Amino acid sequence: MRTISKIGAVAAVAVALLGGVATVAVAEGGAAGTTAAQREKEARDALERLRERQFEAWDEKDGAAFASTFAKDGDMVTFNGDHLATRAGIASGMQYYFDNFIEDTTIELLDEKVRFVDGKLAIVVRTTCLVRDGESECRDGSDSVNTNVMAKRHGVWEQQSFQNTRIDPIE
């Protein structure tokens, strides 16, 4: 990557982290003849598949499958502030939560915003809730916002970091 591209990527990350609305799609690493729109669609499809895998792992209460969406050196901060580090740590931590604390629920996606910093880095902000098995409405107090840093390494998209915050409105 040329220096100017690195500077642009750093500036885009700064905009994203500071709440800016800049959306960037950079033509990096695409197959010859593909358009920027095609590459962005392929990236969005890959990110959607990651989300689906993670939600399915939650449904199955499978910590290892949940963690498989993360990079080996990934990080996860849970809604209560626990920091799970590395894919192995996320797998064991999530399995512990599934076995001891998390009731039979599914994750309901309420909103999702995907921002590409460049062709290999995306920030995903999702609003979700938990729905108890056999019910159709979000469980009271389960609404959360999570921020995901997704990166494409060696042609594969993975979560680098996931930070979950329970929504607790100030009244």
pLDDT tens-digit readout, 56-111: 999 999 999 999 999 999 999 999 999 999 999 999 999 999 999 999 999 999 99
Q: Identify the CA nearest to 29 among candidates 39, 41, 19.
A: 39
Q: pTM for this structure?
A: 0.78
pLDDT-based confidence at residue 3 (cuts at 50, 70, 90) = very low
Tokens representing residue 74 in the block: 């990934």
d(CA 163, CA 82): 10
pLDDT digits (tens, 9 = 90+) for 130-147: 999 999 999 999 999 999
User: Could you count the other beta carbons within 10 Å of the beta carbon of residue 60?
Assistant: 11
User: Could you count the other beta carbons within 10 Å of the beta carbon of residue 81?
Assistant: 9
- Amino acid at residue number 120: K
Full set of structural domains in the chain with CATH: 36-166 (3.10.450.50)
Give buried/exposed letters for 118-152 (b at 16+ CB in 10 A, else e).
Answer: bbbbbbbebebbbbeeeeeebeeebbbbbbbbbbb
pLDDT digits (tens, 9 = 90+) for 30-40: 556 789 899 99
Contact yes or no for 133/141 (Cβ under 8 A): no
Average pLDDT of the chain is: 86
CA-based torsion, 48, 53, 54, 59: positive or negative: positive
pLDDT-based confidence at residue 165 (cuts at 50, 70, 90) = very high
- Checking if the pLDDT of 6 tops 70, the result is no
